[in-house]
Chains A and B, each alone.
Chain A
């Protein structure tokens, strides 16, 4: 792979990893607070999976940059500040109620599944292999979040109104899924990654169909999506929590 592509791909992978890490952290906040014991366990599992995916992408990025795979991921996670993260705003929003977290998981997982399906066939083999591995787990996540969105959307008056409120709150943020990831323009031309805009078009059709089936109304207004460099005020607070222990002793080896 050309050096320019290596550098571009490392940025792309770190953005994907940031999504997984921050979403995993938000999911982990349900531990001990989910509406029922089985879901407490399910969401803790989800959170671990997402953070595990982040780790795989950070390690591959480290490899491309010639960095130490055992040290570099931790440096990225614990010693960058909010301005250096490239995650979607959707994943950094507070966990809200169960409907919001479940719907967020569905919106993210469903696009992720499409992206990984294409990445599985990437011309960069290490990327293709990891994508295939992660995708098997994402399919399970998607099955889980679809099951819940459907049941809450079609459930009681309260579950329906909470799910609709969650959709109204998240849908504008979901438009950011159409934006290019760092380095995407060149990497897509080289057959290494898919076009986010094309993925989003496919995703949009599926998502609207599914959400409608769940009895929910989609808002078709146009929203301006921010760049992945911009964040809400929630990210610094999340990072303060996530990074507090590591920063007690930056020299420690974990």
Chain B
């Protein structure tokens, strides 16, 4: 039995131009384009997004406060440095949100760099993800992806008094 499960992508959403990017869930998809479409259909049914990001789940490196306390601090390896987005989760119920960006030669050292760069931030859980792994929705597609929802009043439950109507029909003896 081969595993036919598609890989997991983490979905991040930005609700407004001045809002931080936050993690809001997961989709399965065979590739980044379908991950983007799935993310839109699963998470953005209302006009509350200006951007979506999808990132392969296994491209994200995480460290909890407990893990950081236990681990040897990784030294800055010599090597090619790349840019990482830094996210943090500040409470059990809170969404992981974007803190900033650092350059580092490995995910482990990116966490160290984040701790040094953002001393006033104390998340329970650090996430770092290489910028190159992130697929972002394009601004030219924002209208068809997000803004169309403004007109979709036909998706509101109030538009469909079906349940109450069916009761009335039953009471009139119209239903067998």
Contact = CB atoms under 8 A, between A and B. Distances in A.
A184 B143 CA distance: 30
Contacts of B147: 136
B136 interface: no
A51 B40 CA distance: 19
B152 A49 contact: yes
Interface string A135-161: 011011001100100010000000000
Given A38-B28, A137-B148, A248 B169 contact: yes
B165 A254 contact: yes
A205 interface: no
B50 interface: no
A41 B148 contact: no
A48 interface: yes
Contact of A143 (B38, B45, B144): B144
A36 B28 CA distance: 9
Main secondary structure of the interface of B (DSSP, over half): helix
B148 A140 contact: yes
Nearest to A253: B165
Given A248-B169, A249-B172, A147 B148 contact: no
A136 B165 contact: no
B131 interface: no
A248 B30 contact: no
B145 interface: yes
A38 B174 contact: no
B19 interface: no
B37 A147 contact: yes
Interface majority SS on A: helix, strand, loop or mixed?
Answer: helix
Contacts of B169: 245, 248-249, 252
A185 interface: no
A114 to B, nearest CB: 15
A231 interface: no
Contacts of B29: 38
Contact of A52 (B6, B31, B45, B152): B152
Interface string A37-55: 1110110010011011001
Given A38-B38, A45-B45, A249-B172, A151 B154 contact: no
Contacts of B33: 147
B41 A38 contact: yes
A140 B144 contact: yes
22 contacts: A36-B28, A37-B28, A38-B27, A38-B28, A38-B38, A38-B41, A39-B38, A41-B41, A49-B152, A51-B154, A137-B144, A140-B144, A140-B145, A143-B144, A144-B41, A147-B34, A151-B30, A245-B169, A248-B169, A248-B174, A252-B169, A254-B165
Given A55-B154, A136-B144, A248-B174, 13 more contacts: A38-B28, A38-B41, A39-B38, A42-B38, A48-B152, A51-B154, A136-B147, A144-B37, A147-B34, A151-B31, A151-B34, A249-B172, A254-B161
Task: State the 9 A-B residue pairs at the shortest beta-carbon distance, nearest first.
Answer: A38-B38, A42-B41, A139-B144, A52-B154, A140-B144, A137-B148, A136-B148, A248-B174, A136-B144
